[in-house]
Every structure is written in structure tokens, then in C-alpha cells.
A = this chain, B = another copy of it.
Amino acid sequence: MNIVLEQAEEIIKVAKAKSTELNTKMNIAVVDAGANLVAFARMDGAWLGSLDISIKKAKTARFFDMNTGVIGELSQPGGSLFNIEHSNNGLITFPGGVPVKDSEGTIIGAIGVSGSSVENDHAVAEAGASATL
């Protein structure tokens, strides 16, 4: 199964609402099961540098089917995945990337959010990902 555009747009809508609720300005990217971009939105005034980061977070979350922050714990100096960020044209491994599942729990894509603290980025990504459950 793969995410469809209607789902991706609903994810972005929910993520934007959560971002506004948190008083943040986010870049929001949704990729499909093939880790390719399906939908994207940059909220007015959001950091320009977060554009690429949001897409890389979404890809990273789907590349390994886990939250990006989990990978970041393993990629630290001395960790088992030290500097894994050098692969795949650049991973982002701090929080803000979350796999997207359908109602049966199958991973159908991922969302990446960037534009605030990693806590806020993750909260918005979680909110967005919940839209397809």
C-alpha cells in the first residue's frame, strides 16, 4: 500500500493546524512508501533552511521505518551508526520525521517537519501522521 495525495494533503492540513496551535512556522513534507515527495508546504515566514531539512527528515523516517530521533541516538560519536548522516545524499537524524501508517498499521509513507525546536517539530509531525490512522 502506498499513501495517496488526498491523505498527504490531509496530513499537511492537520500539521499546519498543530503548528499554528503551537505558534510556530513549519516546513512540512510528506513522502510515499518509495521515499519520494508527495506533498509539501512551507508556511509563511518559516525558516528557509528548514525546507531541505523537512524533506530529509521525511525520507530518513521512511528509509528506516522509524522516528528520525531514534536514529540520531545511534549516530552519535561512539554509537553504532556514527555519522550515518553521510549516506543517501544526507540524512537528518534529529526529531521531526515520523513514519505514516494506514489504519491497519502498515507504513505507507512518512512526514518530516522542520521550523522550530525539535520537540515542536516532532509534535507537529506526530499530529500530521495521526491523520491517516
Chain A contacts to B: CB under 8 angstroms: 4-5, 8-9, 32-44, 47-53, 56, 59-60, 62-65, 72, 75-78, 80-95, 117-118
Contact = CB atoms under 8 A, between A and B. Distances in A.
B87 A82 contact: no
Contact of A77 (B65, B76, B84): B76
Given A72-B82, A75-B82, A86-B85, A91 B41 contact: no
B93 A83 contact: yes
Contact of A90 (B59, B78, B86, B95): B86
Given A36-B34, A42-B38, A53 B84 contact: yes
A63 B82 contact: no
A41 B42 contact: no
Contacts of A95: 80
A76 B76 contact: no
A86 B91 contact: yes
- 10 smallest CB-CB distances across A and B, nearest first, come from A34-B34, A49-B63, A40-B40, A86-B90, A83-B85, A85-B86, A52-B88, A80-B118, A53-B87, A77-B77
